[in-house]
Chain A
Amino acid sequence: MLELHQISRSFSGTKVLDEVSFAVPRGALTGFVGANGAGKTTTMRIIMGLLSANSGHVSLDGKTLSTPTRPSFGYMPEERGLYPKQPIIDQLIYLGQLHSLSRATARERAMELLSRFGLEHRAKSKLESLSLGNQQRVQVAAALLHEPDVLVLDEPFSGLDPLAVDAMSSILADYAARGVPVLFSSHQLDLLDTLVDHLVIIQDGKIRANASAQDLRAAHTSRYQLSLGADAGWLRTEPGVEVIDLSGSNALVSFATVADSQRVLAHALSRGNVTEFAVHRPALADIYREIIA
């Protein structure tokens, strides 16, 4: 498990991270979300040892990471970083070697990953000759070359077409399933719903939520979706009911107590048809919006 312990960091007097603590468990995909400038990239750079923290520390399986380099981690920086004017295979081999692979192994691994991404025939092309989506795939290949122990990916989905998003999701899920802690940031909140097992929300340098997706949803399931046979306007005057949204015969409500919910259901049935009375499963995107609101 990768853990951050009360990390704080300021840039010329401005506090960018304030006692940030969270864990990236093994065997799960952890999504890291926050608005622009919330501190995601700084946090990831501190995890990778590229920036130092003013206080706090990062640990892996309980051991503090003290050296500034993380050769066993796989990293994809926010602003994509490879050599545009060089052949893909050459730079992948170079990066593999810098991650302690032998030249032959690096080549083998690079070709393996390129063919997994359907890019084996482009191995000798210059990176800049590829489409943005394909460049992104090469970038991921660069992060995966050395079979990393931990994966830290800054916005891996940005700029990808839907098929590429699927491919990327399955790769990340694959690594998570092997027990590698995977942390990735994303702006595409709708992606998170189907993908993440664990969610960390950061706002203005402070962690606002840090829990499994399941727990987060459970904590935000006090809402019910009601669909009635007739107008649902009467719910507004019902005691113990808060109407969040109402249009015609449909309403999104929350109840003060479970007893209230059962009483309202009985009442609704007595008034006519009830076509839906269900716990409303919030999308993680909704939970995010609610938390940072």
Chain B
Amino acid sequence: MSTQTTPPWLIVTLREVETKLRDKAFIISTLVTLLLIIGSIAVTGFLATRTTHFTVAATDQVSLTVLNQAASDAEEQLKINVEQLPAEAAAAQLDAGQIDATLSQNSANKFMLTGSDEVPVKLQGELREATEKVLTAQLLTSAGLNADQLPGDDALEVAQMHGDAERSSMIQAMAFLFSFLFYMSAIIFGMPIANSVIEEKQNRVVEILASAINLRQLLAGKILGNVILALAQLLLFLAVGLLAAYLSPVQIPFLGVVSQVAGWFVVFFLGGFLVLAGIWATLGALASRTEDLQQSSGPVVGVLMAVLFIGIYAKGGFLVIASYVPIVSSVAMPIRLLGGEVSLVEPITSLAITLATCWFTILFAERIYRRAVMHTGGALTLRKALKLEL
């Protein structure tokens, strides 16, 4: 009979991957997430570049000045075409839908902006500023003053010692993204490790498996299979997201830094996920039915929620501490790296801590697994499981 020398852990790994790739729910959720990523970047780009056109008629000279002022002040995405018409003609054209609004001066200080069946809000804002400017300029001129001598709204300048404001908002956005990706992967790929351990325990298939191969190899194969899947999915999301951002017509600032830190995130993600994988496997071994997992997974889900919130909200000293705590550091350290003021020693030290924790967790998981997985009957506590004899 033809035999093979493929190591058992690899057979288990391949099977985990194969089973997942055939799972329709998994394929669909991955595709939906991809579409969401591409969609949100495309929508942002579209909204950022879309230009709105308004045609507004002035019925008198001052209104014309106001409209011209508004047209020259308007931001890039807003174009105002200015026309001058007699009041009646303007009303007729507005009624016919040929223009969007008319502007006329009612009294010295009052203007009337008239729309057909709506007055566009954007236009209102733009014209409010322009009327104020024009009227102020008129007043000043009559008082013999020049408008340029007045203090403008740029009198207050803003600076921050570390980083800059735009960078801060980029960090905020990326922090949310990293936290969310980690949280999602930890649940999507962590939970199945526990479930597949429970399934094998519940069906007693584990007795056949354990008599054929070493349980360490079985555990390693399971963890590795899910790590590969999680990492592949993460890389896919990051790659597609970054590619869409590059291709987007809008200039997204800091794309270089973001791509670099994304690399770090992948490395930290791997470390954090391995620690979690060990914990999920232990929980699976302790449970005797899938229902037990709902109770025992509470603390893990709690930690993951903490990761999510620390990622989104943590600042300053708290973030620094978090960036050294395994699992949490998977998100916290990349966020600090985005700030750009972290020396290389820091992420490497944090990574070393995570990898050491990882090693211990997996050893511990194996110890529990070997004892608890042959146990039938109710769910076990950690203490009981450690007391079981092989």
Contact = CB atoms under 8 A, between A and B. Distances in A.
Given A50-B374, A84-B203, A70 B1 contact: no
Contacts of B212: 69-71, 95, 98-99
Contact of A81 (B8, B11, B205, B213): B205
A78 B203 CA distance: 11
A71 B11 CA distance: 15
B211 interface: yes
Contacts of B5: 100
Contacts of B210: 49-50, 68-69
Given A69-B212, A71-B213, A97 B207 contact: no
Interface size class of B (residues with CB under 8 A): 20 to 34
A277 to B, nearest CB: 52
A278 B121 CA distance: 113
B4 interface: yes
A94 B15 contact: yes
Contacts of B214: 68-69
Task: Label chain B's interface by main secondary structure.
Answer: helix
Given A69-B210, A83-B199, A98 B11 contact: yes
Given A51-B390, A70-B211, A81 B6 contact: no
Given A94-B15, A101-B1, A147-B1, A79 B204 contact: yes
Contacts of A84: 203
A50 B2 contact: no
Interface string A71-99: 10101011111111010000000110111
A206 to B, nearest CB: 21
A98 B205 CA distance: 13
Contacts of B157: none
Contacts of B204: 77-81
A245 B355 CA distance: 77
Contact of B209 (A49, A78, A98, A102): A98
Contacts of A80: 203-204
A273 to B, nearest CB: 59
B88 interface: no
Task: Label chain A's interface by main secondary structure.
Answer: loop
Contacts of B12: 98
Interface in B208-226: 208-214
A83 B15 CA distance: 13
Interface residues of A, number: 38
A176 B68 CA distance: 103
Contacts of B207: 45, 48, 50, 75, 77, 81
B257 to A, nearest CB: 45
A105 B2 contact: yes
A142 interface: yes
A45 B375 CA distance: 12
A98 B2 contact: no
Nearest to B374: A50
Contacts of B209: 95, 98
A75 B208 contact: yes
Contact of A100 (B4, B199, B206): B4
Interface string B373-390: 010100000000000011
A81 B203 contact: yes
B343 interface: no
Contacts of A77: 204, 207-208
Interface centre among B203, B211, B376, B390 (most CB of A within 10 A): B211
Q: Which 9 A-B pairs have the closest CB atoms?
A: A81-B204, A81-B205, A77-B207, A102-B4, A48-B211, A79-B204, A105-B2, A98-B212, A102-B2
Given A45-B374, A51-B374, A80-B203, 11 more contacts: A48-B207, A48-B211, A70-B211, A75-B207, A79-B203, A81-B205, A82-B208, A83-B205, A100-B5, A101-B3, A102-B3
Interface of B: 1-6, 8, 11-12, 15, 19, 199-200, 203-214, 374, 376, 389-390
